[in-house]
Structure 1
Amino acid sequence: MENIKIDSSLSFGGYNWRVLDIQNNTALIITEEIIEQRPYHDAYKDITWSDCALRKYLNDEFYDKFNAKDKSRIIPVINKNLDNQWYHSKGGPDTQDSIFLLSLEEVCKYFGDSLSKLNNPGKNQRYWFERKDKNNSKRLAKLHGGGYCWWWLRSPGRVNVKAVYIFGTDGNIGIQGNNILKGNIGDGKCIGGVRPALWLNLEL
């Protein structure tokens, strides 16, 4: 594929994707839009990415929407699932994924560089995502066919019945997390947005 570079857009498998990283003729890509809305898990219980219903859906039903040629270009990877740095909730074991959600660390790395704030939080650490991070606007995403909406990351929130997410109004990172089953109970639009990510072979 020609003219593929970081932050460019490409079409693959019927979706438009944003290129986040390129390594050895492979690219990390994420859908430009929120493609659908789903809960992180199908029950209100302690859970990590490795066992959640959304991971199973992405690696089974969603993956099977791609044709054989496209599947051959999707590279399975081992994902690290770190504990929440501020609340120490468990991230769970490493996982092998063909399709996945970005982690807290990855979204801080690839949507501008916010890793220094993640790794060196200030005294008002709960709020730096909300009020001060210059990269917030880069994380905004629209629901397919609609307006801006919040979307899930795979990292745990402050407890393991919550998962980290990106606010829909201004792109802040909700490090405390939303309810894995009902999402943000207070806003009436309770189900979180899904932006799948994958590593794509650029040579095929």
Structure 2
Amino acid sequence: AYDLFYKLGNYKDSKKQMDNTKIEMDNAIIETQISNLKNINVGDVIKFGIYGDEDIEWQVLDKKDNEIFVITKYIYSYEQYGGCDWKNSSIREKLNSDDVVFYFNKDAKAMIQTTNVIYKDENGAEKNTADKLFLLSVDEYNKYFKNPSEAKFTPAKNNTGYHPSCWMLRSPTSGLLRKVECVSGVDGEVFNSIDICDDDYVGVRPAMWINLEKYN
């Protein structure tokens, strides 16, 4: 049906029909993805949601009862951190807004949990936010990637091709020159990469908790 509407070009409401058909196709794909979320274990790679015309692949980092903690297997965008701390950063706002490039249907959205995300402000005080999608902290990175070589990865094909690239964490360094902690795509080591208020773009791998019971 999608191909037929595409061939019609601008004829009458063919564009609208194409969009509706695409949504129906994506919803069907996501329903299949959800139905396959059985017997998931730490270390598995699952498909959950749509990015463009591709399934989004997530690596399972943790599992507690009927919830799993996942991070994208690949970089899906390159963004600025944009702010003095996580709460006020532009990357946090983008990940939790309608501008995020990932598509989840209503059933998938219901499964994504709101997480109490802990961060440190520019004075080193511990604070928290409530987010659906977020970046790992340095502590979480060290907890889930005990072997740095496991964090080496390849960007998604949609971006700049297949080559190693660094990706940012949500933890800025303390002190006068605050930089974002990043993970090297070459060796998986954490390093201070960019000033948080400059114009550099760094790879983003969102993380989230999924409640498997919400789809029963």
Amino acid at match of 1:110: Y
* Aligned counterparts of 2:73 and 2:156: Cα–Cα separation in 1: 9
SS in 2 for 1:94: strand
Deviation at 1:89, TM superposition (A): 5.7
- For the pair shown, the structure with the greater C-alpha radius of gyration is 2
Map 1:98-109 → 2, pairs under 5 A: 98-109=132-143
Unaligned regions of 5+ residues in structure 2, if any? 1-36, 51-55
For residue 71 of structure 2, the aligned residue among 18, 23, 30 is: 30
Q: Is the 8 A contact 2:49 2:102 kept in 1?
A: no
* 1:65 maps onto 2:95 in alignment: no
Equivalence for 2:117: 79
Matched, 1:151 2:167: yes
Give the aligned residue type for 1:55.
R
Match of 1:192 among 189, 202, 207: 202
> Per-residue displacement from partner, 1:80-112 (whole Å, max 9, x unpaired)?
1147xxxx9636520101000000000000012
In structure 2, the CA distance between the partners of 1:198 and 1:63, relative to structure 1 (3 Å rule), is farther
Counting strand residues as a fraction of each chain, which structure ranks higher?
2
Q: Distance in 2 between matches of 1:99 and 1:108?
A: 19
Match of 1:6 among 19, 23, 42: 42
Equivalent residues of 2:85, 2:120 under 8 A apart: no
* SS of alignment partner, residue 50 of structure 1: coil
User: Is residue 141 from structure 1 mapped to residue 163 from structure 2 by the alignment?
Assistant: no
Offset from partner CA, 1:146-176 (integer Å, 9 cap, x none): 21100000011244641111012211101x3
Which residue in 2 is equivalent to 1:125? none
Among 81, 90, 107, the alignment partner of 2:124 is 90
Cα distance in 2 for partners of 1:80, 1:68 equals 27
Instruction: Report the CA distance shift for 1:192/1:89 in structure 2 as closer, same or farther (over 3 A).
Output: farther
**Mapped contact 2:79–2:204 kept (Cα < 8 A):** yes
Change (3 A) 1:200 1:182: same
Q: Does 1:49 align with 2:90?
A: no
Provide closer, same or farther for how the CA distance between residues 50 and 151 of structure 1 changes in structure 2, counting only shifts above 3 A.
Answer: same
| Aligned twin of 1:165 | 182
Q: What is the CA distance between 1:65 and its match in structure 2?
A: 3.3
**Count of aligned residue pairs for this structure pair:** 167
Letter in 1 for 2:143: K
CA distance in 2, matches of 1:177, 1:158: 13
Structure 1 unaligned regions, length at least 5: 113-134, 184-189
CA 141–170 in structure 1, closer or farther in 2 if over 3 Å, else same: same
Sequence identity (%): 32
Q: Distance in 2 between matches of 1:69 and 1:91?
A: 37
Given residue 191 of structure 1, which amino acid in structure 2 is its aligned partner?
Y
- State the structure with bigger RCO (CA 8 A, min sep 6), 1 or 2: 1
Structure 1 residues 182, 150: closer, same or farther in 2, change over 3 A?
farther
State the distance in 1 between where 2:194 and 2:124 align: 15
